[in-house]
Amino acid sequence: MADDAGIRYSPDTQRAVRLPPGQHTARELPVLHTGGPPRIDITQWKFTISGLVSPEKSLSFPEFSRLPQVQVMSDVHCVTSWSRLDNLWAGVATTVIRDLVAIDPQAAFVIVHAAGGFTANLAINDFFQPDNLFALNHNGKRITPEHGYPVRLVVPRLYFWKSAKWVTGVEFMAEDQRGFWESRGYHNHGDPWQEERYSEQE
């Protein structure tokens, strides 16, 4: 849903009970990642749309920044049990990708690529939710290096590990392929309301 200021509100922000089971609130957004923030040369940065799309496409930072932008208000739920409510993000909705490339009907999953080889996998329907975006700003300010500069994914309906920082592109695939945390014991889907934290032994 969108209000008069054009802000899209994630469904979680409209719930009577805002905290999923097993979560507590954090005032600030903690910093959490594997490896360090990468050094980004913004003149070399590219956002690449690859896999089952035609044509594959790479955008420079100025090109990416000129794409239509939205604002999204969302809650953040980390699997380690903190939640941070009411985050205002600005950036490019994931659905904009559909206007940039033709997606093969065989594509059923995406893998989001980030600097340093980090990846996160999503079913295509989870990827194209209307409150998902590639965020450039958080609460009115440029995303900081530790939170994913220049571009981070935000997937409000799933645990925050799906929200890759330092995104470099998205790849469309016919088969699911587990991402970084998903192949290290985290749940493949990650719905916080279902407490999909960790995988069954597979």
Ligand X SMILES: Nc1nc2c(c(=O)[nH]1)N[C@H]1C(S)=C(S)[C@@H](COP(=O)(O)O)O[C@H]1N2
Choose, by CB under 6 A, the member of 29, 67, 85, 96 that binds ligand X.
29
Choose, by CB under 6 A, the member of 13, 121, 132, 163 that binds ligand X.
163
Query: What mask of x and - would describe binding to ligand X in positions 92 to 131, judged by CB under 6 A?
Result: ----------------------x---x-------------
127-148 burial code (b ≥16 CB/10 A, e <16): bbbebbbbbbebeeeebebebb
Query: What mask of x and - would describe binding to ligand X in positions 141 to 160, judged by CB under 6 A?
Result: ------x------------x
Side chain identity at residue 94, one-letter code:
T
Query: What mask of x and - would describe binding to Mo ion in positions 28 to 67, judged by CB under 5 A?
Result: ----------------------------------------
Cα gap 179→188, rounded to integer Å: 8
* Residue 78 binding Mo ion, by CB under 5 A: yes
Closest to 48 in 3D by CA, of 177, 176, 178, 171: 171
Interface contacts to Mo ion, rule CB under 5 A: 78, 161
